[in-house]
């Protein structure tokens, strides 16, 4: 009976090194805006955005985490409730890419086992400063069996698509669970890690 | 956001509380009262009787509610509607949203069970028939003048509920709760979409074909029904086919037969317009009454709801030979209702017919959403209504049988038209002009009026409608169908059904979602802090440091904040060496609150602090506080500074690695020293320990009364910090304390390190079976630990021999400190600690000196120590 304007609520989390653009990605997605001044996130912020996928209104609650190292331990306590996690690195920052492995380990240790993951190589508009080529991003994603996309919050490249794709992957899982309750329907095993990252139709 | 609101909220006459009346002379309208604002949430014919301030607990967070007691003039019913507060101050109706609806119907209950202690807890529950009870709490004080006190609120609800129950008993009173549907689950998005309905609504034309025939208990299977059902030029979209007197057998009447024969439906499907494909949507039967809805193929996809119901008005008003069957459906956005009724028969029974109509209209309800017939956009009332042509006595009865009579002349005497004029039935219904002969009563098989009973001809079979955008295209009877004593009637309508333009709807919906999301994001409660880093500078063992910081609320909502409890194993908002006050608070708009943080690395917390220093790889913070805003984001407050190391809490090994007084070490130095695992010790035992023992040893009889307990009294008294500094500076000054304070310092020096002195052999020692075995274990301890232990034992033995303290007492106190163990869970822990210690400080050991071979005895240790100093 409570006020409910959506069919499903998905909790998503943005993690990655400080300065890779997590807050900008969120700001672009929620407010369709960009600011180039860097303000370090000291804590956890969230924004909500409702999208429509397959006729369902899905409210995304997106948590933006502090990237600074001193907060790494404390931010891991926020992983637990997340249904989807975006791991963000900066294509102009080698170290942030190398740390993806560290972030993945963090997820393994602290997040729910069935959390949907996606790697984002942000700042892809800055091609002259690029130090991590796209193939390396794809390779690491393939290696871990997760989705990958290069994005630019500044030029609005792939931002909406990334969130919708992650939400859609969660939706697949949720509906998989629903059908599990219905014995007449066959449950598709979604844990197939060999599956190439899907580029499904995105909500627009 | 502000400009979305109406500029002022004028109280609407009947519900004005009068607070504004006396100020009407002034130019500026007075700000609306809360009751007036709440009233604006409702329609003109809905009255807010009172408001009550309450709150609910959602995940232990307060959620304020305003409970409005509202009645509806149209429904004649009361309800409590729970409103949540979107923002404060509440100035506009949009600052409130409906979150829950509690109709004061028969199943409604308000529970304030004193036995359960609710009243003392300021708690009550609202129960409706559906769903779980909703729990509310309230404050003793109220903030709004107009808000009721709980006892008055309770009394009002109880009295309203009772008045409803009374009225329920009276059959003439209509009770409807449909009005509440507007307030159920109306989220912002739904509301906004409704507000913008005109932007995406179009009206599409649908042809609806209504048909009625009283078959007089005859089989219609062989009749040429397409004469009746295929009269339109274009194929209709929807057929509503109503039959009466399908089967009037006593058996069917008594059993209230509702079974459907597929053959009837097939017959109808065979008889409808041939130029389109049709399928049955739904049928409903009650004894002789049958209503079948047939739709053009493909239309089903646009029908989202379809419900049936029936009502008996036959013999004793219980039997199914008279009554009504009805089907309610939603086509696109339009709600349509079809009723097939067979009302009371015979010329004289006009009042009964009217009553039948009124009861059907009032009582027939569709169970999905308590929707009455009148709650539809388009209503088609079809059937054998049984109203007759009643001519005055001066006109001969035979006049009606003259087929040359103009229809208008006969219809002057039509009971239905007369009753409708007098508003006794079918109020606000429409009927097309009748341009056909009376449909009753004929000799079956002929077009001749009844000759058997000589019944007066009448327009029994009629089709009426109610609602907007309905245009009648045809209204006629079919003379050629002669199986029954009634002629069938049909009417064709063009209805403009409210339909959503999906493309436009999608665009509006997107905009609405965006706006609602934006509003939610913008309205997130927020606080600001004057700093996210609290720097304590240099912090010393056993010295309290205090820092304040300020949280302020600059957002347009009152904000509840709290420090979040961190994950296990901590399970607290901060580390043991910190205290934060307050833990939580509510900040009204434009207020601030000072938060005090106290840092004290003392005997209870030093072990954990040193461990954190030793194990932190990144920048060291004493802690990070998570400042959580209810329904909002979390801020991290770093508590930082550096710890000035002291000998207390450091292991004997670490202390043996020092080459200068502890006061000359930094936190970073000490971290390196603590993580050093090489056996390169600079001294055989810590200088701090040796100096303490040395001082104590010289105190002689002053030692009486020391070592009574392994738990020093807290807080440590004044001169402890002088002793600490004396030790940490390797001071050459006289010892600043006395025997008692030196004894406390010694116990703490041994007690505070992360590992007990005899680790890693504590377990073995506790399990050891003999003196010899225990000694073997001591032998393999690290040199600093072993030396400290042996030196301590030697010192204690002297004191015991001199009877400064008692053997068992000391064995127990030191045993528990040196053999501290979490693994050893057996009940004899204290006994075992004493027993192990007794091996080394008991009298029999004196018979077997020297104690240990390698590492040397006490004298040797002292000599080595003095050499390196």
Global confidence as pTM: 0.65
Nearest-by-Cβ selection for B517 from A4, A50, A69: A50
* pLDDT tens digits, one per residue of B274-332: 999 999 999 999 989 999 999 999 999 999 889 999 998 877 666 667 899 999 999 99
- Least confident piece of the model among A17-21, B91-95, B568-572, B701-705: B91-95
CB atoms under 10 Å from CB of B528, counted, come to 12
Contact A1 B186 (CB under 8 A): no
The CA distance from B57 to the nearest CA of chain A, in Å, is: 13
Nearest chain B residue to A74 by CA: give it. Answer: B624
The answer to whether B208 and B495 have CB atoms below 8 angstroms apart is: yes
Neighbouring residues of B370: CB distance < 8 A, sequence distance ≥ 6: B176, B177, B178
Indicate whether A87 belongs to any domain: yes
Residue B130's nearest CA partner among B68, B186, B184 is B184
Tell which of B96, B505, B513 to mutate to test the A interface (max A CBs under 10 Å): B513
**CATH number of domain containing B175:** 2.30.29.110
SS3 B503: helix
* CB pair distance less than 8 Å for A43 and B635: yes
Q: Mutate which of A2, A5, A44, A79 to disrupt the B interface (most B C-beta within 10 Å)?
A: A5
Question: In whole angstroms, how large is the CA radius of gyration of chain B?
Answer: 47
CATH number of the domain bearing residue A81: 3.40.50.300
The enclosing domain of B721 has a CATH number of 1.10.555.10
Are residue B463 and residue B515 in the same domain, yes or no? no
State yes or no: pLDDT of B167 exceeds 70.
no
Residues B208 and B174 in one domain: no
pLDDT of residue B243: 95
**CB proximity under 8 Å: A 134-153 to B:** none
Q: What is the pLDDT of residues B740-783, one digit of tens each?
A: 999 999 999 999 999 999 999 999 999 998 999 999 999 999 99
- Please check whether residues B325 and B470 belong to one and the same domain: yes
Q: What is the pLDDT of residues B410-442, one digit of tens each?
A: 999 999 999 999 999 999 999 999 999 999 999
Q: Is A204 on the interface with B (CB under 8 A)?
A: no
CA nearest to B181 within chain A: A1
Alpha helices in B80-145 (DSSP H): 118-121
Domain count, chain B: 5
Q: For A38-61, what is each residue's pLDDT tens digit?
A: 889 999 999 999 998 887 888 899
Question: Residue B13 half-sphere exposure, CB side, CA atoms within 13 Å?
Answer: 2
What pLDDT, on a 0 to 100 scale, did the predictor assign at position A28?
95
- Inter-chain residue contact B131 with A1, CB threshold 8 Å: yes
Written in H, E and C, the secondary structure of B834-862 is HHHHHHHHCHHHHHCCCCCCCCCCHHHHH
Residue B306's closest CA among B333, B281, B329, B279?
B329
| pLDDT tens readout for residues A70-110 | 899 899 999 988 999 999 999 999 999 999 999 999 999 99
- Note whether B310 and B330 are same-domain residues: yes
Query: Residues B118, B217: one domain?
Result: no
Question: In angstroms, what is the C-alpha Rg of chain A?
Answer: 17
Mean pLDDT, chain B, integer: 86
Contact B513 A52 (CB under 8 A): yes
Same domain flag for B353 and B381: yes
Q: Is residue B623 a contact partner of residue B769, using CB atoms and an 8 Å limit?
A: no
Q: How confident is the model at residue B32 (pLDDT cuts 50, 70, 90)?
A: confident
| Of B599, B623, B644, the domain-final residue | B644
Task: Return the DSSP state at B19.
Answer: T
Nearest to B243 by CA among B204, B311, B292, B299: B292
Q: What is the ipTM of this complex?
A: 0.86
In a domain, B664, yes or no: no
d(CA B320, CA B310): 9
Q: Are B391 and B397 in contact (CB under 8 A)?
A: yes
In a domain, A186, yes or no: no
Taking chain B, what is the end-to-end CA distance rounded to the nearest angstrom?
Answer: 76
> What's the rounded Cα separation, in Å, for the pair B538 and A25?
40
Same domain, B736 and B855: yes
Residues B168 and B312 in one domain: no
Half-sphere exposure of B651 (CA within 13 A, CB side): 25
Asked whether the beta carbons of B206 and B237 are under 8 A apart, the reply is: yes
SS3 B545: strand
Which of A49, A57, A70 is opposite residue B621, by nearest beta carbon?
A: A70
> Where in the sequence is the domain holding B192, given as residue range(s)?
188-196+502-523
Task: Check A30 against B633: CB less than 8 A apart.
Answer: no
If asked whether residues B349 and B479 sit together in one domain, one would say yes
Residues of A in contact with B183 (CB under 8 A): none
- Angle between helical axes of B720-728 and B739-751 (0-180°, round to 10): 60
Q: Cα(B718)–Cα(B280) distance, rounded to whole angstroms?
A: 95
Is A199 part of any domain? no
* CA B290 – CA B259 distance, rounded (Å): 10
B178 and B45 within one domain: yes
Domain shared by B629 and B758, yes or no: no
Same domain, B326 and B465: yes
Binary contact (B636, A47; C-beta < 8 A):
no
- Residue A127 domain boundaries: 8-178
Among B523, B554, B571, the domain-final residue is B523
Q: Is B785 part of a structural domain of the chain? A: yes
For B4, the enclosing helix (H) or strand (E) is none
Judge whether B826 and B724 are in contact, CB under 8 Å. Answer: no
**CATH number, domain containing residue B567:** 2.60.40.10
Residue contact B627–A43, C-beta within 8 A:
yes
What is the pLDDT, as a whole number, of residue B718?
A: 67
d(CA B285, CA B307): 13
Residue B363 lies in a domain: yes
When divided into structural domains, chain A yields a total of 1
């Amino acid at each position: 009976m409570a006020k409910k304007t959506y069919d499903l609520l998905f909790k998503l989390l943005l993690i990655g090194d400080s300065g890779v653009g997590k807050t900008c990605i969120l700001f672009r997605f929620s407010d369709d805006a960009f600011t180039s001044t860097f303000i370090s996130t000291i804590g956890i912020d969230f924004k909500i955005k409702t999208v429509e996928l397959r006729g369902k209104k899905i409210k995304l609650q997106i948590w933006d985490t502090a990237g600074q190292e001193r907060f790494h331990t404390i931010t891991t306590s926020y992983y637990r409730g997340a249904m989807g996690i975006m791991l963000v690195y900066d294509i102009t920052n080698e170290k942030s890419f190398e740390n993806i492995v560290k972030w993945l380990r963090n997820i393994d240790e602290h997040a729910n086992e069935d959390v949907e993951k996606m790697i984002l190589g942000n700042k892809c508009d800055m091609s002259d400063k690029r130090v991590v080529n796209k193939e390396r991003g794809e390779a690491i994603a393939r290696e871990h069996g997760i989705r990958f996309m290069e994005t630019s919050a500044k030029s609005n490249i792939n931002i909406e698509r990334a969130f919708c794709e992650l939400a859609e992957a969660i939706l697949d899982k949720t509906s998989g669970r629903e059908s599990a309750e219905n014995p007449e329907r066959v449950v598709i095993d979604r844990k197939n890690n060999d599956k190439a990252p899907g580029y499904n139709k995105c909500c627009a | 956001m502000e400009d979305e609101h109406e500029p002022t909220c004028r109280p609407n006459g009947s519900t004005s509380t009068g607070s504004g009346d006396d100020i009407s002379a002034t130019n500026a309208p007075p700000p609306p009262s809360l009751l007036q604002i709440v009233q604006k949430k409702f329609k003109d014919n809905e009255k807010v009787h009172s408001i009550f301030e309450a709150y609910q607990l959602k995940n232990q967070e307060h959620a304020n509610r305003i409970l409005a007691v509202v009645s509806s003039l149209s429904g004649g019913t009361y309800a409590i509607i729970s409103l949540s507060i979107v923002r404060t101050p509440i100035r506009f109706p949009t600052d409130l949203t409906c979150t829950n609806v509690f109709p004061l119907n028969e199943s409604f209950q308000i529970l304030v069970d004193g036995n359960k202690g609710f009243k003392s807890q300021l708690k009550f529950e609202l129960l409706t028939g559906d769903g779980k009870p909703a729990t509310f709490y309230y404050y003793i004080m109220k903030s709004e003048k107009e808000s009721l006190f709980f006892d008055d609120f309770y009394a009002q609800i109880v009295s309203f509920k009772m008045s409803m129950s009374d009225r329920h008993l009276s059959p003439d009173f209509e009770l409807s709760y449909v009005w509440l549907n507007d307030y159920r689950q109306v989220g912002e998005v739904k509301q906004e979409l409704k507000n913008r309905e005109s932007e995406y609504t179009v009206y599409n034309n649908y042809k609806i074909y209504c048909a009625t025939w009283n078959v007089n208990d005859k089989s219609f299977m062989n009749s040429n029904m397409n004469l009746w059902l295929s009269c339109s030029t274009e194929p209709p979209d929807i057929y509503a086919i109503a039959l009466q007197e399908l089967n009037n057998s006593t058996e069917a009447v008594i059993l209230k037969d509702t079974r459907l024969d597929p053959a009837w439906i097939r017959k109808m499907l065979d008889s409808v317009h041939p130029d389109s494909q049709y399928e049955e949507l739904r049928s409903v039967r009650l004894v002789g009454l049958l209503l079948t809805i047939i739709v053009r193929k493909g239309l089903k996809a646009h029908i989202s709801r379809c419900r049936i119901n029936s009502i008996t008005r036959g013999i004793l008003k219980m039997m199914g030979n008279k009554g009504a069957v009805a089907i309610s459906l939603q086509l696109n956005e339009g709600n349509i209702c079809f009723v097939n009724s067979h009302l009371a028969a015979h010329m004289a029974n006009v009042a009964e017919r009217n009553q039948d109509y009124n009861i059907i209209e009032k009582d027939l309800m569709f169970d999905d959403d308590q929707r009455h017939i009148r709650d539809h956009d388009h209503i088609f009332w079809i059937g054998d209504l049984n109203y007759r042509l009643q001519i005055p006595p001066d006109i001969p009865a035979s006049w009606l049988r003259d087929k040359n009579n103009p229809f208008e002349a006969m219809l002057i005497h039509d009971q239905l038209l007369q009753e409708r004029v007098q508003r006794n039935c079918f109020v606000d219904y429409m009927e097309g002009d009748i341009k056909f002969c009376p449909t009753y009563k004929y000799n079956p098989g002929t077009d001749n009026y009844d000759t058997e009973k000589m019944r007066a001809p009448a327009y029994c079979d009629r089709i009426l409608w109610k609602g907007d955008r309905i245009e009648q295209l045809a209204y006629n009877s079919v003379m050629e169908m002669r199986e029954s004593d009634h002629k069938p009637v049909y009417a064709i309508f063009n209805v403009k059904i409210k339909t959503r333009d999906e493309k436009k709807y999608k665009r509006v919906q997107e905009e609405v979602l965006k706006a609602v999301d934006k509003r939610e994001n913008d309205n997130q409660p927020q606080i600001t802090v004057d700093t996210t880093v609290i720097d304590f500078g240099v912090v010393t063992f056993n010295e309290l440091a205090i820092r304040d910081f300020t949280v302020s609320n600059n957002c347009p909502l009152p904000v509840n904040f709290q420090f979040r409890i961190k994950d296990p194993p901590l399970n607290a908002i901060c580390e043991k060496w910190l205290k934060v006050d307050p833990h939580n608070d509510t900040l009204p708009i434009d207020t601030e609150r000072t938060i005090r943080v106290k840092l004290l690395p003392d005997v209870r917390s030093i072990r954990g602090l040193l461990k954190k220093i030793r194990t932190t790889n990144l920048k060291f913070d004493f802690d990070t506080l998570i400042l959580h805003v209810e329904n909002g984001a979390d801020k991290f407050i770093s508590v930082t500074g550096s710890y000035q190391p002291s000998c207390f809490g450091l292991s004997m090994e670490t202390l043996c690695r020092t080459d200068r007084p502890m006061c000359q070490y930094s936190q970073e130095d000490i971290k390196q020293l603590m993580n050093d695992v090489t056996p390169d010790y600079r001294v055989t035992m810590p200088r701090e320990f040796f100096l303490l023992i040395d001082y104590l040893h010289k105190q002689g009889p002053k030692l009486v009364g020391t070592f009574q307990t392994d738990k020093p009294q807290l807080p440590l008294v004044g001169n402890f910090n002088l002793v600490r500094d004396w030790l940490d500076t390797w001071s050459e000054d006289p010892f600043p304390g006395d025997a008692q304070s030196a004894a406390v310092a010694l116990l703490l020096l041994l007690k505070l390190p992360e590992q007990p002195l005899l680790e890693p052999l504590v377990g073995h020692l506790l399990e050891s079976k003999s003196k010899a075995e225990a000694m073997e274990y001591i032998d393999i301890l690290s040199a600093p630990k072993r030396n400290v232990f042996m030196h301590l034992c030697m010192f204690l033995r002297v004191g015991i021999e001199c009877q400064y303290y008692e053997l068992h007492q000391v064995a127990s106190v030191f045993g528990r400190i040196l053999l501290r163990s979490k693994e050893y869970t057996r009940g004899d822990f204290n006994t075992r600690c004493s027993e192990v210690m007794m091996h080394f400080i008991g009298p029999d050991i004196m018979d077997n000196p020297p104690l240990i071979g390698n590492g040397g005895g006490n004298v040797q240790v002292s000599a080595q120590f003095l050499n390196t100093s």
